[in-house]
Amino acid sequence: MSQSEQNSNTKSLPRQYGDGDASYQAAGGEVGIKQLVDDFYDVMGELPQASRIRAMHPDDLEVTRDKLTRFLCGWLGGPKLFREKYGPIQIPRAHSQLDIGVDERDAWLKCMELALEKQAAYDASFKRYMLKELFRPADRSRTREE
């Protein structure tokens, strides 16, 4: 039997990212996502390219970190923890009062790219997948046409 035939007969096929909670699991669940978000905001605090977007946030990032962690849990197919605590959210609306153009979007994504690189437990394929998928909500957060 070839490898592919064997795989097609196996009950527990590896799931694609985006399928059910496969991405949430690949990200290490709530604990793994919290680590990613902590690294993300730490990078934002250090990266010169991100100083403008860091300044849009409150000095104390405790609630902000909690919000992004909870949002990403649901966004990756896990439990809807943001809604549970803070109510419904719509990403463009959540950013509508901010001045976000291409530079700000790219700075946000750069922080995420560097934070993803720090996650030793993540598969390289998952890091690439996540960065690619995040482009969409990041672009939808733009409030400025360029």
Question: For residues 61 and 12, is the Cβ–Cβ distance under 8 A?
Answer: no
Tokens of 131: 């960065």
Residue 48 or 58 having the CB closest to ligand HEM: 58
Q: Tell me the longest C-alpha to C-alpha distance in the chain.
A: 60
Pick the piece of the chain touching ligand HEM (CB under 6 A) from 5-13, 25-33, 38-46, 52-60: 52-60
Q: Total binding residues for ligand HEM by CB under 6 A?
A: 23
Q: Using CB under 6 A, which of 27, 68, 81, 115 touches ligand HEM?
A: 68
Helices and strands counted in the chain (H then E): 9, 0
Interaction of residue 50 with ligand HEM, rule CB under 6 A: no
For ligand HEM, which residue of 104, 111, 116, 130 counts as binding (CB under 6 A)? 104
Q: Minimal distance in Å, beta carbon 91 to ligand HEM?
A: 6
Residue closest to 94 by CA, chosen among 43, 49, 56, 38: 56
The reply to whether 54 sits near ligand HEM by the rule CB under 6 A is no
Which of 3-11, 15-23, 35-43, 61-69 is the region at the interface with ligand HEM (rule: CB under 6 A)? 61-69
We find the least distance from the C-beta atom of residue 1 to ligand HEM, in angstroms, to be 43
Q: C-alpha angle 89/93/97, rounded to 5°?
A: 130
- Of 54, 53, 33, the C-alpha closest to 45 is 54
Rounded to an integer, what distance in angstroms lies between the CA atom of residue 110 and that of residue 116?
A: 10
Helix axes 29-46, 102-117, angle to 10 degrees: 120
Q: Which residues bind ligand HEM (CB under 6 A)?
A: 53, 56-58, 63-64, 67-68, 71, 86, 89, 91, 94-95, 98, 100, 104-105, 108, 134, 137-138, 141
